[in-house]
Amino acid sequence: MSEIVSDKCLDVLFRTARTHSAWLDKPVSDVTLEALYDLLRAGPTSANSSPARFVFVKSPEGKERLRPHLSAGNTDKTMQAPVTAIVAYDTAFTEFLPKLFPHEPDAPSWFEGDEEKMFMNAFRNGTLQGAYLILAARALGLDCGPMSGFDAAGVDASFFPDGRWRSNFLCNLGYGDPGLLPPRNPRLDFDEAARIV
């Protein structure tokens, strides 16, 4: 049986964690990004298909490639962030199923020839893996700033010209400036968002 994590962990992952837009001048090492991936990849996906792909944009050149595709409100904070993750998905994720789901050699055939099913699996599970990225980042002491305000076609043309990977959302990563956070917005109450049947 799983153990319940400490109150402190719940704060770090959920209760006091915030979406950040202002970043301290503190770099994120490649070792930290590798540790981040090592954690997030453990999260569950359908048939262990693991369709998410990640580009960690750190260099000034990479940031300049992102810049023209960002919405106005997302530009400055993305240029300032130590890292911007492009959370993408692999449209040909079934290629890896023999490695990822070896006890079911027929697994690729569950998807092949069905574009809609391929997309649904890649997008649903790739999005889940993006959420695992946010929680794994928080667990490692990083702050996150996820964003959907960007031109996905433009990012894809620049970063994924062969068309196989496609961007889902962006996520700034770094150490946020807690002094520049706006008040937190409310969440829905249980009765508004959930039912027990």
Binding site for ligand FMN (CB under 6 A): 18-19, 73-74, 146-149, 169, 184-185
Rg over alpha carbons for the chain, rounded to the nearest Å, is: 18
Kindly state the tokens that stand for 115: 């574009």
Residue with smaller CB distance to ligand FMN, 73 or 105: 73
Residue 146's H or E segment, with its range, is: strand 143-147
Residue with smaller CB distance to ligand FMN, 73 or 98: 73
Q: Which residue is nearest to ligand FMN (CB)?
A: 149
Q: Nearest approach, Cβ of 17 to ligand FMN (angstroms)?
A: 7
Map tokens 């008040």 to a residue: 183
Phi, psi of 146 (to 5 degrees): -70, 150
Residue with smaller CB distance to ligand FMN, 59 or 185: 185
Q: Nearest approach, Cβ of 147 to ligand FMN (angstroms)?
A: 4
Q: Nearest approach, Cβ of 93 to ligand FMN (angstroms)?
A: 20
Q: Nearest approach, Cβ of 115 to ligand FMN (angstroms)?
A: 24
Contact between 126 and 51 under an 8 Å Cβ cutoff? The reply is yes
Q: Nearest approach, Cβ of 162 to ligand FMN (angstroms)?
A: 25
Residue with smaller CB distance to ligand FMN, 51 or 97: 51
Buried-exposed string 105-117: b where 16+ CB fall within 10 A, e elsewhere? eebbebbeeeeee
The angle at the Cα of 160, spanning 154 to 164, to the nearest 5 degrees, equals 120
